[in-house]
Structure 1
Amino acid sequence: MLILWSRIHAELGVAPCPLTYGMVETAVGRRVREAADLDWKLVVISADEKSGPGKQKALEERRWEFAKDIAAMANTQGGLI
């Protein structure tokens, strides 16, 4: 999906244009803070994670947290994760 305007655009002072990976990198470098419509994630869920007794529970908790973040944004005005 093409994103022409976002919190990242506003924080970087960029006019509406397609959001690029470079813009995201710049926002990370400038330590743009999270907002109601911007939520940073270092790692969400790795497809190649090894399962084990304790790791399965941790993976399930991360999945639930990610699902809650998506639902929260979907139930408000949207945003970027």
Structure 2
Amino acid sequence: MARGTTVTAALAGEAADLVRTTGAGVVVPPDDPRAMADLWSRWCEDGAVPPASRSAAHWVMVHATWDVLARQFSRALDDLVAA
């Protein structure tokens, strides 16, 4: 997502919502491999994969850089120790 590469994923739930809402790529049902094959076949026939949106890279910069993840992990450890 951070590099602007389109994500194609067989997901459901929160992970699928993240890919959709950030515009990172396309989600197919996890129990439907034919849907993934059809998607990739269509892109091969078209000769191009649609780019991911810039909002996907922005989401990573706000929520998932190493610094952000380290702070979240540190807070979780602090909460665990305090409990």
Say yes or no: TM over 0.5.
no
Q: TM-score, normalised by structure 2?
A: 0.30
Normalising by the residue count of structure 1, what TM-score does the alignment of the two structures yield? 0.30
Structure of larger gyration radius: 2
Higher strand share: 2
